[in-house]
Amino acid sequence: MYKFKKITLQTKILGLISTLILIIIFLLASIFAYLQSVDTRNQVEQLALQTAKTISLMPELREAIEKNNLETNFRPIAEQVKDQVHAANIMIENRNEIIYSHVSPNKVGTMSSDHTNYHALLFGGSNIFEVERTEGSVIIGKVPIIADYGDYTRVIGTVSVEFLEKDIYQNLINRIKTIVVASTIVFMLGIIGGIFLTKSIRKDTLGLEPHEISSLFRERSAILLSIKEGIIALNQEGFITLVNHSAESMLHLLEDGIKGKHIHKVIPNLEIDEVLQMGKTIHNVEVKINDKMYIFNLIPIFEEEHVVGVVSSFRDKTELKKLIETISEVRDYSEGLRAQTHEYANKLYLLSGLLQLKRYQDAFDFIQKESNIHQHQNQILFNQIHDANVQAILLGKLGKASEKKVLFEIDPDSYVEPLPNHIEVTDIITIIGNLIDNAFEAVIHQNEKKVTFSISSIGNDIIIEVADSGKGVSKDLIDSLFTLGYSSKGENRGYGLFNVKRIVEALDGTIEVSNEKNGGAIFTVYLPKKFME
């Protein structure tokens, strides 16, 4: 099988064309030879019979037989007829089977040994015979010579026109030779055409052999299956030629149902005219499909500087945002741990200094104070909050608060069981992380820098509450807090609370904003434990 694969496409096509042409030539030549031989034989038989009849009706023949002067009066006529019809012999016999005329003069006057004469002499009928002689098979047309004597008629002799079978087939062989010459020319033209055909096919296949094309197809299928991004390929008219499984899944499409359709019927608001007409590559264009945002990249396919199609890759912007948010939170955790490490390093330096100054009581009091604080925090974190993700978020925020010199307290009444499965890690990171970060920023310039966090899973809802000692939120601005891009902190901000509200609503929850009596904002989130799909 491997050796067969190594045979080039040109060799395969030329071999196939040559074989087909040879088979067709052989079959046609065989059929022609058979039909021609049958037809030629029939023609010769009819010619022999008709020639014999024509000769038998000649008055000169009857007169020559009656005068017994056939050799002188009729032999020249017989020779002329023989040459005209290309017969091997014209033999004339009388009623007694004495040969009057023959191609061999020495047989004239001798008794004929032809056993077929009795059909003509006895019954007066015309017949065609085939006999074997020393020179080969001979086809004979035999006709009686009938003389009319008024009251009666009488058979006075016979006329035999003979054709050698080998002469018949020699003519047929000459015709077949002509066919062979023509067939050779056709064969050579077929080979030349095959060479041009293979060159054209190799040009269309970019010089690749069939096994290389099949290998590329398998690799392409495997690559398309492994890519998580959606892939849609279009031809130069904008009709879909390829869709991978990721695209089907994201757009809820059926591959067989959209192949061959125009892209505008599947994705009406995707602008590809500029790509098809100008060959311009477009990156990161946002398109809304089925209430979801997707980011598309449109790349033209060129062939000899002409656009022959477009490959479009796209991904779900929602998942991309989740990934960015997760990375952002991981970065915040990293910064929180770094701050916590830095804070502990400073405390260790303080203890080292107090011990070097022999202020042992101050060092003991400091250790006792820090121990009480951490014991209180750990009591709440590890004994009352049983969700590992929430614990991790709060530990990071404690370190960040220490670095920012913000008093971050966890309500001692907080209590939560492991969160339900429908609340994903990215969801709880976005909600708690953004609310606490906003609270830190709200108190950073205040004299009292205090943020309080509370979480409870008692009842049917998970309640998350974050309160700060900042200036609070104006009632006129409460409705604008969760708008995409709105922020009082400068440009390129205003995504945090928008993402919080989007996730809370996706989980069938609610979020409330209120102000404390002495200033400061309170954000409260209610997430149902049971998610109604």
Residues 281, 272: Cα–Cα separation, whole Å: 10
Q: Which of 449, 458, 373 is nearest to 410 (CA)?
A: 373
CA–CA separation, 281 and 300 (whole Å) = 6
The pLDDT of residue 455 is 92
Those residues of the chain that have pLDDT short of 70 are 1-6, 66-73, 150, 224, 253-257, 291, 318-326, 328-344, 370-379, 479, 484-495, 532-533
Question: Domain 359-528: what homologous superfamily?
Answer: Histidine kinase-like ATPase, C-terminal domain (3.30.565.10)
pLDDT for residue 491: 43
- Residue type present at position 258: I
CATH no. of 211-314: 3.30.450.20
The predicted model scores a pTM of 0.41
What is the structure's pLDDT at 321?
63
- Strand arrangement, sheet containing 521-528: 407-410, 450-456, 461-468, 521-528, 510-515
Helix, strand, or coil (residue 357) = coil
One of 3.90.1150.10, 3.40.190.10, 3.30.450.20, 3.90.1720.10 is the CATH number of 11-171, namely: 3.30.450.20
11-171 and 359-528: identical CATH topology: no
| Distance in angstroms (rounded) separating the CA atoms of residues 498 and 288 | 18
Contact partners, residue 425, CB within 8 Å, separation at least 6: 326, 389
All structural domains of the chain with their residue ranges: 11-171, 211-314, 359-528
CB atoms within 10 A of CB 332: 19
